[in-house]
Structure 1
Amino acid sequence: MAIVSRRLTKRKQLRRRCCRVSDVMCFVGLLGIVLMVIENELIFHSVDRRDTIASWSIKLVITISTAVLLGLIIFYHYLDLSLYAVNNGIEDWRVVLSFNKTVLIALELFFCTIHPFPRHFPVQHSSEDQTTDSTSTPVPSSLYYIPLDVALGLPMFLRLYLLCRYIVFHSHLVQDTLSQSLGYLNQITMDFGFVIKTYAEQWPTRCIVIFCTIAFFVGSWSMRACDFKPTGEHMSMSDAMWLFFVTFATVGYGDLIPSTYCGRTLKTDLEKGFQFISEVNSGPPWTSEPTPVN
């Protein structure tokens, strides 16, 4: 009994530490995304699209937060493996570190590493250069052109998976002791897929609205960052939201079209993704059951 009590106590402590580390990871990851958007907006509104001291400083903070996030990811997986070892009566956590788990951790670290990093320190340009740049004739951007900070910033939206991990740890299904015991007895993994299916059955409309709202703003800003006007300026947020809406609704009025391959690829992916979501939503309701036939 003493061994079982010690294992239960250690399991409770490890789960609590995993939850705290996951909360900090979610905060740091979302902070990096917000700072990335602010940094790119500063460059979008600059006259010559060069780094300013403010944007360079923000990228430095993003780099520091990314380093902290990578350390937290490694520490989280150490706690997660230790928790798995305790649940299965294994003494050493390195025994449960399989090849597939190692590859998943490496991929997670790789995707979280991508961010707009600070390059050369910005130098204040003279007013004559700024006047020349502002009065010069704008050159239309190439179809292949995408700013480096945008190319490195868009993958940062993949950090939203940390929000999914946050939802799992703060779900009543995971925090409830009875649900955990039933899950272990029936060998049910209470991961994000299980939690989101349960939420979709309980609150289908709320889940769809939250998902579509997040996808709408993320997709609209990504479209704005990728696409350009004939004058060489970035597409406005209102135009990007309109283009995203007609893409989602598969209407395609044709008044706005992507002007770069990045925007066209993004538009195609969004259209296919939301077509799939529409097909899923047009099926039988989440909570419906087959009607018995007499």
Structure 2
Amino acid sequence: MAIVSRRLTKRKQLRRRCCRVSDVMCFVGLLGIVLMVIENELIFHSVDRRDTIASWSIKLVITISTAVLLGLIIFYHYLDLSLYAVNNGIEDWRVVLSFNKTVLIALELFFCTIHPFPRHFPVQHSSEDQTTDSTSTPVPSSLYYIPLDVALGLPMFLRLYLLCRYIVFHSHLVQDTLSQSLGYLNQITMDFGFVIKTYAEQWPTRCIVIFCTIAFFVGSWSMRACDFKPTGEHMSMSDAMWLFFVTFATVGYGDLIPSTYCGR
């Protein structure tokens, strides 16, 4: 009985620590996304030119938050493996670290590593590109940039998967002791798939609205970011939302079209 009591106590402590680490991971991940959007919006509104202290500082904070996030991910998986070992009566957590689990952790770390670094990447253009005619003023080469920050910033939206983990830990299905016991007895894994399936059956309209809203705003801003041109008129957020809607709905009025390869 003493051994079982210690296992239950340790399992409760590990689950609580996993929940706390997951909350911090979600906050840090979303913070990086918000800072990435702010940094790019400064560029879009010509407030910043990617070579000022403000832009460099924001990207430095993003890099620091990314490093913290990677450390939290490693620590979370250590706790998760320890919890799995306790649930199955295994003494060493390294025994349950399979090859597939290692690959999944490596992929998670890789995708969370991608972010805009605190530096700019100017690209030199020819004299024909820098002047439109003999009377026009040459455009400084410092205003021409490879959209690398956009390419490195858009994958940061993949960090939204941390919300799924947050939902799982704060779901009543996971927090309820009776539900956990029934899950263990019936060999049901209380993962995000099970939780979201249960929520979809209980509140289908609410789940669809939330999912479509997130996809709409993320897709619209991504289209706006991909259509960025440092030397031309930039697509507004309202135009990007309209273009995303007509494209997603397969209507295609043709009144708005992306003007860059990335936008297309």
TM-score (norm 1): 0.80
Per-residue CA deviation, residues 106-147 of structure 1 (Å, 9 max, x unaligned), is: 000000000001026999999999999999679999999961
Deviation of 1:157 (Å): 0.2
> Which ranges of structure 2 fall in alignment gaps of 5 or more residues?
none
- CA offset at residue 232 of structure 1? 1.9
Q: How far apart are the structure 1 equivalents of 2:121 and 2:231?
A: 28
Structure 1 248/36 Cα, relative in aligned 2: closer, same or farther at 3 Å? same
Change (3 A) 1:47 1:166: closer
Is the alpha carbon distance of 1:197 and 1:145 closer, same or farther for their aligned partners in structure 2, counting shifts above 3 Å? farther
Which has the higher mean CA deviation after the structures are superposed, 93-102 or 41-50?
Answer: 41-50
Deviations 1:146-198 (A, max 9, x none): 61110000000000000000000000000000100111111111110100000
1:44 Cα deviation from its structure 2 partner: 1.7
Distance of 1:41 and 1:134 partners within structure 2 = 33
Distance 1:7 1:56 in 2: 49
Structure 1 residues not aligned, in runs of 5+: 265-294
- Mapped to 2, the partners of 1:70 and 1:88 lie a distance apart of 27
Aligned 8 A contact 1:62 1:115 in 2? yes
- Tell which deviates more after alignment, 143-152 or 106-115: 143-152
Change (3 A) 1:193 1:77: same
Cα distance in 1 for partners of 2:188, 2:143 equals: 49
How many percent of aligned residue pairs carry the same amino acid?
A: 100
Identify if the C-alpha distance between structure 1 residues 12 and 198 changes in structure 2 by more than 3 Å, giving closer, same or farther. same
Decide whether aligned partners of structure 1 residues 65 and 52 sit closer, same or farther in structure 2, where only a CA change above 3 A counts.
same
Offset at 1:53? 1.3
SS in 2 for 1:8: helix
Change (3 A) 1:21 1:118: same
| 1:217-275 C-alpha deviation (Å, 9 max, x unpaired) | 111100000014796233111110000111122111011112223222xxxxxxxxxxx
4+ residue segments displaced more than 4 Å: 120-146, 228-231
Asked if structure 2 preserves the Cα contact closer than 8 Å seen for 1:146 and 1:226, the reply is no
Instruction: Say if 1:18 and 1:138 are closer, same or farther in 2 by CA, change over 3 A.
Output: farther
Which whole-Å CA distance do the structure 2 matches of 1:164 and 1:134 have between them? Answer: 57
Cα distance change of structure 1 residues 41 and 126 upon mapping to structure 2, 3 Å threshold: farther
Shift of 1:49: 3.6
* Deviations, residues 204-228 of structure 1 (Å, cap 9, x unaligned): 0000000111111111100000014
More deviation, 230-239/205-214? 230-239
Alpha carbons of structure 1 residues 144 and 85: separation in structure 2 relative to 1, 3 Å:
farther
Distance 1:53 1:131, change over 3 A: farther
CA distance in 1, matches of 2:43, 2:135: 18
| 1: CA distance, partners of 2:120 / 2:231 | 28
Distance 1:34 1:123, change over 3 A: same
Confirm or deny: 8 A CA contact 2:246 2:253 kept in the other structure: yes
**1:218 matches 2:256:** no
2:221–2:240 Cα contact (<8 Å) kept: yes
Name the stretch that deviates more: 20-29 or 52-61.
Answer: 52-61
Aligned length, in residue pairs: 264
In the aligned structure 2, how far is the partner of 1:61 from the partner of 1:163? 21
C-alpha spacing 1:48/1:184, structure 2 compared with 1 (3 Å): closer
- Match for residue 166 of structure 1? 166
Q: 1:12 to 1:91 in 2, by over 3 A?
A: same
What pairs up with 1:134-213 in 2 under 5 angstroms? Answer: 147-213=147-213
Shift in CA distance, 236/193, structure 1 to aligned 2, threshold 3 Å:
same
Q: RMSD of the alignment, in Å?
A: 4.7
The separation in 2 between residues aligned to 1:114 and 1:229, in whole angstroms, is: 22
Give the SS at the match of 2:187. Answer: coil
What residue in structure 2 maps to residue 229 of structure 1?
Answer: 229
How far apart are the structure 2 equivalents of 1:145 and 1:54?
17
> Residues 136 and 11 of structure 1: is their aligned pair in 2 closer, same or farther, counting only changes over 3 Å?
farther
Going from structure 1 to structure 2, the CA distance change for 1:232 and 1:9 (only over 3 Å counts) comes to: same
Tell me the CA shift for residue 24 of structure 1: 0.1
- Return 37-46 or 175-184, whichever deviates more: 37-46
How far did 1:50 drift?
3.3
Q: Is the 8 A contact 2:111 2:158 kept in 1?
A: yes
User: Structure 1's 15 and 133: CA in aligned 2 closer, same or farther, altered over 3 A?
Assistant: farther
**Does the 8 A contact of 2:199 with 2:207 survive in 1?**
yes
